[in-house]
């Protein structure tokens, strides 16, 4: 169906005060239509009542002030530095504002302009503000709003400065707001039940807030909209995966499940039992399971997966477990064999390093259906692999696989196997709902009893010799250790120790009597596998590595993790690295060697004092912000969420997911007349941006 035209679709060029040349400059900021301009909301608000009057600015303050430029000029110094200065005044007094080394501002700022400046007040031939940031609120000659208002600052550019945006918005905002009703898709009753304003009211509050609380009410409406449409796309994806065609109805006989329960040397935790009930309920229904199992390092995800695989096997179906690396696949195969061979079930391993004879034998067993339990890597999704009756697919460390890789295994056999994806990288519930809203979520938030906590400490580089002496003591007792570096080899850009160079020093100087191996991502797969197999077998005492070892490898005898330049690692990485030790009964240690700045110190203290992966994930979201977690900084694109803040908007997210899933259940294709505008907005405004991120 075509999308009806809205006045907000009008090209920005034809708005008042724009024209072709300025339209090109706006386009570089992502503003190509009237709608883009209307949704170009302020990045900052300053309440006039909280600004410091210029006459009250004192040396030592860090302040924000607004004033009119009384005079300006470029001041040369004896050292050749040129300083741009203005004298700023309001009704209470005057102050000098100085920008050392920025004489070009003389062409940008005029006498009579009104500036908002933020920065420290210093003393240099009198009081001076040295701004960290500033914006030109109004040009000389513009009409200023009455005092007592909220000052808004927009994201601007060199070609479209603050005052230009203000002038364009001032000329067009009333008309834009009158057109905003074209985008309204919620009824009055729906807005009232969600305690949200109408769209035009929300946008007016964002551009012309009477108070900061007004602006927040407006932001929450836009936050709800983007969360709702995100969840709507994911609800449709979830329905296609689970309900459009019937899945497999598995039947439980307990012929395999009960004997495994009775043979295990440990009892399932309460969390494991609860998650298994959800999984069994999904698998026994006609609806196809599509579930994310999230659990901290050591929470027992693998045993949950094995019980799910046994339910498939009890009905004669095959189950496949796909892991991102050969070492991890081999580890899973060994563990499954220990549990299942006493039940008469063979586990077939399929990886790229099998010999031709081994591979042919494995493929024949899989194709005939004799292999009920198959463990492998990407090799499982090759065209030569054909399952007889694939009933369940388990994907371990799912973030290491692309969606297409996962679906290549799921959609090829003519059957619709249930899908369980597992992740040992805890993320906050709100982030999981945002990124994986197409999956049902189960969480293992309980560790099995008896796990020995890993002692975590932080040491400065001058203590490195003492740290290595401690490591050597552990090795002398028959333990094993890791030393991890952020770089593979030396770099001219950063002064950091690297794995390759330090491997030689450690092998020759620090641990000359020990067997030391090197592991990093630039080694060939066969070389990496050989190092890890040697370490696992006890033929190496110590492995010098990069973060290539952060996922999944289980070496119970490894009791020490040394992380060099720990300040260079994120919280999630640090937590995964620490998870490589403490896998056995012996006391284990994680030692960070770091010289952290203030921000890094906060991160490292959280890691040192917290072992709960979910608490660490919440701290990571708070410290880093959701933009970095979504990866938007690396891709140079708008963030997935522009208005929603997952730290404070979880209530909106829960309501958005509930509303989206209920709507898709009642009207999957949004064909009802009441959903016409919603469908149009989804197709035109949201779908393209969401699909850029692989959502839906």
Query: What digits encode the pLDDT tens for the residues 117-126?
Result: 888 898 887 8
Percent of the chain residues past pLDDT 90, beyond the cut: 43
CA nearest neighbour of 26 among 160, 153, 152: 160
Bridge partners, 519 (sequence order) = 545
Is the domain of 405 the same as that of 535?
A: no
Whole-number Å distance between alpha carbons of 523 and 530: 11
Q: What is the pLDDT of residue 618?
A: 81
Q: What is the pLDDT of residue 401?
A: 53
pTM (2 decimals)? 0.75
Q: State mean pLDDT over 81-94.
A: 91
Is 188 among the domain residues? no
Is the domain of 266 the same as that of 373?
A: yes
Q: What is the pLDDT of residue 540?
A: 94
Whole-number Å distance between alpha carbons of 447 and 332: 19
Is the domain of 458 the same as that of 578?
A: yes
Q: What is the pLDDT of residue 689?
A: 57
Whole-number Å distance between alpha carbons of 3 and 651: 31
Q: State mean pLDDT over 385-408.
A: 74
Is the domain of 467 the same as that of 583?
A: yes
Is 350 among the domain residues? yes
Q: State mean pLDDT over 532-551.
A: 85
Is the domain of 305 the same as that of 383?
A: yes
Is the domain of 409 the same as that of 275?
A: yes
Position 147 confidence tier, pLDDT thresholds 50, 70, 90 = very low
Whole-number Å distance between alpha carbons of 453 and 446: 14
Q: What is the pLDDT of residue 368?
A: 92
Is pLDDT larger for residue 589 or for residue 1?
589
Angle at 67 between CA 64 and CA 71, to 5 degrees: 125
Q: What is the pLDDT of residue 642?
A: 86
Domain boundary among 610, 645, 679: 610
In 10 A of CB 277, how many CB atoms? 11
Q: State mean pLDDT over 451-456.
A: 85
Q: What is the pLDDT of residue 225?
A: 95
Is 266 among the domain residues? yes
pLDDT score of 165 more than 80: yes
Is 370 among the domain residues? yes
Q: Which region among 253-262, 407-416, 594-603 has the lowest average model confidence (pLDDT)?
A: 407-416
Q: What is the pLDDT of residue 494?
A: 58
Residues sharing a CB contact under 8 Å with residue 116, sequence separation 6 or more, in sequence order: 46, 64, 65, 66, 134, 135, 137, 151, 153
pLDDT in tens, 222-273: 999 999 998 998 888 888 878 777 889 999 999 999 999 999 888 899 999 9
Q: State mean pLDDT over 586-612.
A: 88
Position 632 confidence tier, pLDDT thresholds 50, 70, 90 = very low
Mean pLDDT of the chain: 85
Q: What is the pLDDT of residue 1?
A: 43
Is pLDDT larger for residue 612 or for residue 257?
257
Is 213 among the domain residues? no
Q: State mean pLDDT over 408-433.
A: 76
Is pLDDT larger for residue 278 or for residue 143?
278
Q: What is the pLDDT of residue 385?
A: 86
Q: What is the pLDDT of residue 691?
A: 62
Position 149 confidence tier, pLDDT thresholds 50, 70, 90 = confident
Is 102 among the domain residues? yes
Location of structure tokens 């724009």: 18
Q: Do 81 and 112 contact (CB within 8 A), yes or no?
A: no
Residues sharing a CB contact under 8 Å with residue 274, sequence separation 6 or more, in sequence order: none
Q: State mean pLDDT over 544-564.
A: 83
The string of DSSP codes covering 590-634 is EEEE----HHHHHHHHHHHH---HHHHHHHHHHHH-HHHHHTHHH
pLDDT score of 413 more than 60: no
Position 132 confidence tier, pLDDT thresholds 50, 70, 90 = confident
Q: What is the pLDDT of residue 167?
A: 87
Whole-number Å distance between alpha carbons of 234 and 481: 43
Position 690 confidence tier, pLDDT thresholds 50, 70, 90 = low
Is the domain of 37 the same as that of 72?
A: no
Domain boundary among 584, 610, 636: 610
Is the domain of 267 the same as that of 343?
A: yes
Q: What's the total number of domains in the chain? A: 4
Q: State mean pLDDT over 31-35.
A: 93
Position 107 confidence tier, pLDDT thresholds 50, 70, 90 = confident
Is the domain of 508 the same as that of 393?
A: no
Q: What is the pLDDT of residue 398?
A: 59
Is pLDDT larger for residue 521 or for residue 465?
465
pLDDT score of 276 more than 90: yes
Q: What is the pLDDT of residue 331?
A: 85
Q: What is the pLDDT of residue 633?
A: 36
Is 618 among the domain residues? no
Q: What is the pLDDT of residue 631?
A: 45
Question: Residue 518 is part of which domain span?
Answer: 454-610
Domain boundary among 423, 446, 464: 423
Is the domain of 58 the same as that of 38?
A: no
Is the domain of 459 the same as that of 566?
A: yes
Grouping H, G, I as helix, E, B as strand and the rest as coil, residue 627 is helix
Percent of the chain residues past pLDDT 70, beyond the cut: 90
How far is residue 397 CA from its own chain's centroid?
15
In 10 A of CB 621, how many CB atoms? 20
Is the domain of 337 the same as that of 412?
A: yes
Q: What's the Rg (C-alpha) of the chain? A: 30
Whole-number Å distance between alpha carbons of 196 and 220: 8
pLDDT score of 172 more than 70: yes
pLDDT score of 480 more than 90: yes
CATH number for 323: 3.40.50.300
Grouping H, G, I as helix, E, B as strand and the rest as coil, residue 433 is helix
Is 250 among the domain residues? no
Position 80 confidence tier, pLDDT thresholds 50, 70, 90 = confident
């Amino acid at each position: 169906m075509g999308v009806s035209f809205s006045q907000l679709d009008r090209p920005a060029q034809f708005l008042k005060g724009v024209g072709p040349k300025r339209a090109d400059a706006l386009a570089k900021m992502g503003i190509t239509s009237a709608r883009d301009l209307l949704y170009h909301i302020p990045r900052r608000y300053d309440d006039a009542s909280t600004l410091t009057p210029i006459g009250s600015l004192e040396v030592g303050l860090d302040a924000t002030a607004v004033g009119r430029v009384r005079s300006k000029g470029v001041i040369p110094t004896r050292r050749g530095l040129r300083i741009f200065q203005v004298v700023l005044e309001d009704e209470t007094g005057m102050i000098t504002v100085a920008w050392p080394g920025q004489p070009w501002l003389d062409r940008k700022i005029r006498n009579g302009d009104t500036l908002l400046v933020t920065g420290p007040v210093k003393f240099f031939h009198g009081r001076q503000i040295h701004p960290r940031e500033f914006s030109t609120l109004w040009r000389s000659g513009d009409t200023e709003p009455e005092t007592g208002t909220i000052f808004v600052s927009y994201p601007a550019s060199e070609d479209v400065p603050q005052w230009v945006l203000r002038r364009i918005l001032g000329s067009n905002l009333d008309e834009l707001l009158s057109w905003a009703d074209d985008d309204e898709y919620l009824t009055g009753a729906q807005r009232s039940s969600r305690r949200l304003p109408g769209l035009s009211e929300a946008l007016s509050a964002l551009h012309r807030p009477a108070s900061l609380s007004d602006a927040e009410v407006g932001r929450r409406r836009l936050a709800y909209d983007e969360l709702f449409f995100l969840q709507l796309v994911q609800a449709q994806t979830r329905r296609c995966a689970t309900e459009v065609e019937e899945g497999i109805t598995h039947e439980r006989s307990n012929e395999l499940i009960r004997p495994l329960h009775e043979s295990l040397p440990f009892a399932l935790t309460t969390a494991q039992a609860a998650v298994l009930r959800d999984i069994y309920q999904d698998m026994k229904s006609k609806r196809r399971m599509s579930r994310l199992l999230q659990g901290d390092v050591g929470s027992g995800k693998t045993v949950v997966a094995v019980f799910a695989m046994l339910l498939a096997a009890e009905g004669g179906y095959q189950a496949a477990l796909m892991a991102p690396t050969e070492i991890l696949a081999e580890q899973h195969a060994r563990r499954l064999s220990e549990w299942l061979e006493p039940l008469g079930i063979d586990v077939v391993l399929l990886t790229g390093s099998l010999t031709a004879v081994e591979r042919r034998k494995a493929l024949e067993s899989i194709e005939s259906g004799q292999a009920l339990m198959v463990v492998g890597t990407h090799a499982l999704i090759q065209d030569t692999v054909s399952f007889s009756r694939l009933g369940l697919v388990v994907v371990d460390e799912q973030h290491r696989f692309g969606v297409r890789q996962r679906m290549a295994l799921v959609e090829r056999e003519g059957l619709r196997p249930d899908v369980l994806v597992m992740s040992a990288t805890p993320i906050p519930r709100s982030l999981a709902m945002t990124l994986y809203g197409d999956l049902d979520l189960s969480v293992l938030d309980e560790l099995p009893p008896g796990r020995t906590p890993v002692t975590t400490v932080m040491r400065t580089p001058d203590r490195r010799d003492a740290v290595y002496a401690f490591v050597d003591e552990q090795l002398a007792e028959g333990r094993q250790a890791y030393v991890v570096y952020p770089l593979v080899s030396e770099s001219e850009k950063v002064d950091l120790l690297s794995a390759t160079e330090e491997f030689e020093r450690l092998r020759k100087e620090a641990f000359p009597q020990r067997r030391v191996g090197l592991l990093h991502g630039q080694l060939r797969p066969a070389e990496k596998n050989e190092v890890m197999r040697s370490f696992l077998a006890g033929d190496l005492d110590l492995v010098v590595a990069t973060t290539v070892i952060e996922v999944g490898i289980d070496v119970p005898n490894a009791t020490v993790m040394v992380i060099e330049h720990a300040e260079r690692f994120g919280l999630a990485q640090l937590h995964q690295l620490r998870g490589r030790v403490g896998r056995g009964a012996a006391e284990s240690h994680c030692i960070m060697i770091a010289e952290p700045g203030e921000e890094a110190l906060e991160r490292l203290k959280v890691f040192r004092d917290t072992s709960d992966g979910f608490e660490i994930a919440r701290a990571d979201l708070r410290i880093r912000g959701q933009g970095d977690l979504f990866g938007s900084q690396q891709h140079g694109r708008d963030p997935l969420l522009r208005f929603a803040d997952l730290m404070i908007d979880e209530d909106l997210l829960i309501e958005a997911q509930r509303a989206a899933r209920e709507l898709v259940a009642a009207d999957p294709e949004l064909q009802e007349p009441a959903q016409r505008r919603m469908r149009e907005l989804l197709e035109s405004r949201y779908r393209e941006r969401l699909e850029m991120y692989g959502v839906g």
